[in-house]
Chains A and B, each alone.
Chain A
């Protein structure tokens, strides 16, 4: 357990509304990641961070933004949610070496 929590764990929202998902870690890891998991696609990288205020895009970043103002928090924002962003979102951290540890996930439904 790498001390990773995600909030909220479940969310239902309407198309066009902004949504922010939070990932919180307690162990001061430098690298943090946001992935989404979809049937038929598996897990895909949205954005990642390699330090406070240092972020970069992943494979499926369109429609998403991120921020990291503190080491422990990595926020994922959907500026204007669409139905295609209905998914399960996982945060992960890079531990010792190349090991990755995942948060419990957030189920997002966009109606």
Chain B
């Protein structure tokens, strides 16, 4: 079993829809990260959180430490949001490397 599980694997939405991507993890963590990767592109950090909720523009990330679960929400989705969204966690050790989910491929249709 993977230490970080994401769902769904693939998601197709119509422009304007509200989107939720889920992430569950099974290890102790220091932080949880949401990353974005456009096709053929680099990896950009969207959020890093260890508790509660963060918001940036139309993106909202929440985390429930007790349930070991996080969600990424996109409000009023747009075709430019089409990308792969990756959940990753920083474990409890000192090395600080990330453990990744396999990603959610989002396609937003106009």
* A3 CB, min distance to chain B CBs, angstroms: 14
Q: Residues of A contacting B44 with CB < 8 Å?
A: 102
Interface residues on A, range: 20 to 34
Q: Residues of B contacting A41 with CB < 8 Å?
A: 102
Interface residues of B, CB < 8 Å — how many? 21
A-B contact pairs, 25 of them (CB 8 A): A31-B95, A31-B96, A33-B98, A41-B102, A42-B86, A42-B101, A42-B102, A42-B103, A43-B88, A43-B98, A45-B97, A45-B98, A45-B99, A48-B95, A50-B95, A56-B95, A90-B42, A98-B31, A98-B48, A98-B90, A99-B45, A100-B45, A100-B96, A102-B44, A102-B45
- Known A-B contacts A40-B102, A42-B101, A42-B103; the reply to A101 vs B95 at CB < 8 A is no
Least CB separation from B50: chain A residue? A98
Q: Is the interface of B mostly helix, strand, loop or mixed?
A: strand
A33-76 vs B: 1/0 string, CB under 8 Å?
10100001111110010100000101000000000000000000
Q: Given A94-B96, A102-B45, output 8 extra A-B contacts at Cβ < 8 Å.
A: A31-B95, A40-B102, A90-B43, A92-B98, A98-B31, A99-B48, A103-B42, A104-B42
Name A residues whose Cβ lies closer than 8 Å to a Cβ of B: 31, 33, 35, 40-45, 48, 50, 56, 58, 90, 92, 94, 97-105
Least CB separation from B43: chain A residue? A102
B97 close to A58 (CB less than 8 A): yes
B102 close to A100 (CB less than 8 A): no
A100 close to B100 (CB less than 8 A): no
* A2 CB, min distance to chain B CBs, angstroms: 10
| Cβ-neighbour of B42 out of A31, A94, A102 (below 8 A) | A102
